[in-house]
Amino acid sequence: KQEVTQIPAALSVPEGENLVLNCSFTDSAIYNLQWFRQDPGKGLTSLLLIQSSQREQTSGRLNASLDKSSGRSTLYIAASQPGDSATYLCAAGGGADGLTFGKGTHLIIQP
């Protein structure tokens, strides 16, 4: 059974810093890995999707990498802003099997 772990559970950094969120998964037989953002009381916003054959994806200040062999993914946020404050969820799996989510990293960017 797939297990997804996210480290750290919480992170607070000053505005402008670059930061890395980590995600590990136990079963490398995945279709894709996705990073989501969850704002309090709201649904999920898909940030980046990395197919199993890819190594990274970039969108604006966000860059996500995938190393299937080691069961790891990282989300890199450049030049953080207060509006980046949210919970970031990593999810592995995809296809008809759905996704297994980590518990998330609660990120606070201090103005």
Partner 1 sequence: GAVVSQHPSRVICKSGTSVKIECRSLDFQATTMFWYRQFPKQSLMLMATSNEGSKATYEQGVEKDKFLINHASLTLSTLTVTSAHPEDSSFYICSALGGSEKLFFGSGTQLSVL
Q: Pick from 28, 49, 54, 63: which binds partner 1 (CB under 8 A)?
A: 49
- Identify the residue whose tokens are 């969820």: 89
Widest CA span in the chain: 41
Q: Is 71 in the site for partner 1 (CB under 8 A)?
A: no
Q: How far is the CB of 19 from partner 1 (least distance, A)?
A: 21
Tokens, residue 30: 């995945």
What count of Cα atoms within 13 Å lies in the side-chain half-sphere of residue 65? Answer: 10
Q: Is 40 in the site for partner 1 (CB under 8 A)?
A: no
Query: Rule CB under 8 A: which residues touch partner 1?
Result: 4, 31-32, 34, 36, 41-44, 46, 49, 51, 89, 91, 94-104
